[in-house]
Amino acid sequence: MIFTSLSFLLFFLSVLLLLAVFKRQAARTYILLIASYVFYGWWSPVFVLLILVTSVWAWAFGLLIDRTDDEVKKSRYLFVSVAFSLGVLAYYKYAEFLAQSFYAALGWQWTYDLGIVLPVGISFFTFQTLSYSIDLRKGKIPVCESPTKFMLFVAFFPQLVAGPIVRASDFLPQLEKKIRISSKNIVIGAQLFLGGALQKTLIADNMSTFVDPIFAEPALYSAETLWLGLAAYSIQIFCDFCGYSLMAIGIAKMLGFDLPENFRMPYLSRSITEFWRRWHISLSSWLRDYLYIALGGNRKGKARMYSHLMITMLLGGLWHGASWNFVLWGALHGIALAIHKIWDDRTRDYSELKATPLYSSIAWLSTLTFAALLWIPFRCVDFPTMQVYVSRLFGGADGIDWINPQVITLLSVVVIWHLIYQFKPAVLAKFPSDNPERFGVQFALGISIFAIILFAPLQTSPFVYFQF
C-alpha cells in the first residue's frame, strides 16, 4: 500500500474515523498499532510476524537491561538483543549476497536461488530497535514498560517502510501524551502530505519513465542523453525519498505525531560533509551516533578518524542494499568525507576566501557534480552496466539522442524551487500554514491537486527506498 494509492487513502480515512470515534488514549494506541500491522500486512501478512517478533525481542531485552544493576549483564543483554536484530537483518538482506561473494572469491559459479524475500522496510525498523536498545543501555532513555507502545514505536505506519528513522527518545514520549486529532494538525499535515505527493508523483514518477530505460541499457544512448539521465536520476531519487519523508511526516502530523526532518535541500550543499547533514538526515545522524562515535569518532587521532569515516560510510552504503555497487558508493563518499576533512583542516585560516561568492559557487558546483556522479553506482544494477555508463558518459559516445522535454521542464522547476529556497526563503516559509482560510494556501493546494491529477504518470513507481 503506497501513500499515493487509492487504497491508502481509504485506509487512512478509516484510521482517522476510528480515532475520532474512540477517544481513550489506550484505544487510540491499539487502533494505531493494529492499523500499522494492517498497513504492513497489506504487502505480506507473513512478515507481520517478523516485525512482531523483532519488536517483542527488543522490548523484552530492554526490560532485562533495565531490571538488572549488573553492568556486565546489561552489556550481555544488549549484545543478545542487538545480535538478534542484526542477525535477522543479515539473513534477509545479506545472506545471498555474502554467499554469492564467497563463491565469486573462490572463482565458483553461483547458480542457486535461496528464495529469500527481503521484507519491506527491514533496515529501517531494525535501526529503530537497535537505537532503543543502545540508548537504554547507555541510560539515555527510560525503559518502555508498555509492549503496545513499544510495538507501535517500531511499526508506526507513516514511517515504517522508508523512514524517517525515528529515535525512541523522540517518539515514545509522544505516546505518553494524549494522542490528539486536531483540525490544525490535519491542515498542516495535509499540506505536508500534498507537498510530498507533488514531489513524488509529479517529479519523481515522471523522471523515472525517462531514467529507467536509460540506466537499463546505457550502451544504447548518446553521452548527452546519459548526462541528462544522470541529472534526472539525481532529481528523481531526491524527490522520491524527500517526497516520501514529507508525506510520512504529514500523515504522522495528522495523527498528532511529530517526526524528524529528513531532508534539507541537500543539493545546495557546499561540501560533501554538509551534503550528509542535509541528505537522509535520520540515517546520517543514526550512523554518526551509533557507528562513527561508537567506533571512536575523532577522539583517537586523525588517522583513526579517517578510517572510522570510511567504515561508517562503507556500512552506510551496504545498508542501502546488498551489492558491491552500494559498497563502492559508500566507499567513495567515505573517501570524499575524509578528503574534505583534510581540506577543511588545511584551509582553516582562509575563512574569508571561503566566504566569497566565487568560492561558494565552485564548492557548490563540485559538491553537486560529485554527489550526482556517485548516483551512477547507486542506480546501476551491476558493475558492468556502471562501467558502460561511466565510459560512455565521459567518452562522448554516439547513440540514441533522447532529450525529453518533460524532463527538461521538471529540471527547470526543481532549479527554480532551489533558487527560491536559497534567495527568497520567506516564500516557502509560508508553508505549511495553520490557517486554511488564507487565499494563498487554498490556491496552492488547489493547484497542487490539479497538477498531480493532470500531469502525474498513471504508472506510479514504487518508492525507491522501499527496497532498502
Q: Which residue ranges make up the site for other proteins (CB under 8 A)?
A: 6, 209, 212-213, 216-217, 219-220, 222, 398-406, 439, 442-443, 446-447, 449-450, 453-454, 458-462
Query: In 10 A of CB 463, how many CB atoms?
Result: 22
Minimum distance of other proteins from residue 217's CB (angstroms): 6
Nearer to other proteins, 142 or 213 (CB): 213
Of the candidates 366, 379, 349, 368, the one whose C-alpha atom is nearest the C-alpha of residue 418 is 368
Q: What is the smallest separation between the CB atom of 214 and other proteins, expressed in angstroms?
A: 9
Please answer whether residues 8 and 2 qualify as being in contact, where contact means their C-beta atoms are separated by less than 8 angstroms. yes
- Cβ of residue 211: shortest distance to other proteins, in angstroms? 9
Cβ 398 to other proteins, closest distance in Å? 6
DSSP code per residue over 199-241: IIIIIIHHHHHHHHHHHH-GGGB-HHHHHHHHHHHHHHHHHHH
> Has 320 been annotated as catalytic?
yes
- The DSSP symbol for 93 reads I
| CB 221 to other proteins: min, Å | 8
Question: What is residue 443's DSSP assignment?
Answer: H
Q: Is the peptide bond before 405 cis (omega within 30 degrees of 0)?
A: no
Beta bridge partners of 221: 400
Q: Closer CB to other proteins, residue 394 or residue 450? A: 450
From 280, 308, 320, 340, the catalytic residue:
320
Q: Of 6 and 106, which CB lies nearer to other proteins in the complex structure?
A: 6
C-alpha dihedral sign at 66, 67, 72, 75:
negative
Please report the DSSP string for 4-65 in residue order.
Answer: TSHHHHHHHHHHHHHHHH--SHHHHHHHHHHHHHHHHHHH-THHHHHHHHHHHHHHHHHHHH
Q: How far is Cα 442 from Cα 430, in angstroms, rounded to an integer?
A: 12
CB-nearer residue toward other proteins: 32 or 211: 211
Shortest Cβ distance from residue 447 to other proteins (Å)? Answer: 7
Please, which residue, 353 or 403, has the CB nearer to other proteins? 403
Grid coordinates given for 189:
499535515
The whole-angstrom separation of Cα 257 and Cα 94 is 33
Closest CB to other proteins among residues 213, 297? 213
**Catalytic site positions:** 320
